[in-house]
Structure 1
Amino acid sequence: MPLDGEVHLYCLNLPHDASKLTGYGCLLSEAETKRAGLLKSELVTSRFIAGRGILRTILGAYLDVDPADVKLATGEHGKPYLADGTKDLRFNLSHVDDLLVLAVAAGLEVGIDIEKIAAGKPVHDIARLAFSRQEQEVLLAMPASRQIQAFYRCWVLKEACLKACGSGFSLPGSSFDMPLIFEPMVKLINCNQTFWHVRDIEVPEKYCAALAVEARGGSPSLPEIVWCVPNGKLADNT
């Protein structure tokens, strides 16, 4: 189990091996199996099955239960959580392509997001919809060569916060400011009347990721990050 004030991070490759997918599929709940069957393509389905199977395997190890017996539920805006509440374990996950990132903490809400950096994305159009006025102004003032990276960094930091507080984008991204340039790597942010420690996390090149961790009472004490695979490296699976 993570210690108090500690966050365990995972960065994993989703497998496509048929035998592994079959094994992970056996761990899914009836609702998860039904959801997998409704997905639009074989690739999306395999990624969902692998992601849920890996999540259940990791949580089962923390809880000392069979992965198939992990009771998962979903909040109003889609944030997953442990339904039985037997241990005060909080988690959040995100995936893009075949990459999955997962954060696990004891007693602290967490949010995590990963995105693939796409050079052709209409970042200014998206920023007008999802960023605050201050964020838009800072982005536009940057050299063009830095704007794509800055946009994605701001996006994952904001989404990590929104996922941590459980609102997702039901709370407008423009409702709080995320500094596009800040040092040190960790910043205390007020989002949805709660303070969060937000930070970049190291992931493979061409991707961008961030973590948000609840700051109890606005405490400046930083959570300790424990990589359960080497920092920024990939593990094939659990």
Structure 2
Amino acid sequence: MSHSAHVAVCAIDEVADIGVDCELVAPFARLPTLARWIMTDEEHARFELLEGERRIQRFYDTWVRKEAVSKATGDGLSLAFRSLSVAPERARVPVSLGSRILHVRSLEAPT
């Protein structure tokens, strides 16, 4: 379950572990610092090449995917986000966590 501004999302699955997250996309002063904290080196290098709205969107795409994975695993913020690659430039991606493979997908919230 997650909510941000006027959007809420809840997902239930009787068979698989599932995690969801949503965020209101908006710039904030500590975005570059937080990006360095949550992104793998490769994700951060790609992030640094972006500017303006694309840069802000990439941060949130990365953040919500990692947050959803952390909810699916039950690890929460103790999950090592910097070691987890979620390929935010792709709509769907398999994510490996040890012997587990989670499937991560981004969806647009209705406006």
CA distance in 2, matches of 1:140, 1:167: 28
Contact 1:113 1:160 in 2 (8 A): yes
CA distance in 1, matches of 2:30, 2:89: 21
Equivalent of 2:95 in 161, 183, 189: 189
Quote the residue 1:209 is aligned against: none
Aligned to 1:190, the other structure's residue is in SS state strand
Aligned to 1:109, the other structure's residue is in SS state coil
Unaligned runs of 5+ in 1: 1-92, 206-238
Quote the residue 1:99 is aligned against: 7
Q: Percent identity?
A: 30
Residues 121, 192 of structure 1: alpha-carbon distance in 2 compared, 3 angstrom cutoff: farther
Contact 1:110 1:164 in 2 (8 A): yes
CA distance in 1, matches of 2:98, 2:70: 8
Aligned to 2:34, the other structure's residue is in SS state helix
Q: CA deviation at 1:168?
A: 0.9
CA distance in 2, matches of 1:113, 1:189: 16
TM normalised by structure 1 equals 0.44
2:64 matched to 1:156?
yes
Unaligned runs of 5+ in 2: none
Aligned residues: 111
Equivalent of 1:140 in 9, 28, 48: 48
Contact 1:115 1:152 in 2 (8 A): yes
Q: CA deviation at 1:104?
A: 1.1
2:110 matched to 1:204?
yes
TM normalised by structure 2 equals 0.89
Contact 2:39 2:81 in 1 (8 A): yes
Residues 100, 192 of structure 1: alpha-carbon distance in 2 compared, 3 angstrom cutoff: farther
Quote the residue 1:115 is aligned against: 23
2:85 matched to 1:177?
yes
Aligned to 1:201, the other structure's residue is in SS state coil
**What is the root-mean-square deviation of aligned Cα atoms in Å?**
1.6
Quote the residue 1:227 is aligned against: none
Residues 194, 202 of structure 1: alpha-carbon distance in 2 compared, 3 angstrom cutoff: same
What whole-Å deviation, never above 9, does each CA across 1:4-32 have from its counterpart, x for those lacking one? Answer: xxxxxxxxxxxxxxxxxxxxxxxxxxxxx
Contact 1:161 1:191 in 2 (8 A): no
Contact 1:165 1:192 in 2 (8 A): no
Q: CA deviation at 1:111?
A: 0.1
Q: CA deviation at 1:105?
A: 1.1
Letter in 2 for 1:200: S
Contact 2:86 2:104 in 1 (8 A): no
Runs of 4+, deviation exceeding 4 Å: none
CA distance in 2, matches of 1:180, 1:109: 21
> Which of the two has greater strand per residue?
1
| Higher Rg | 1
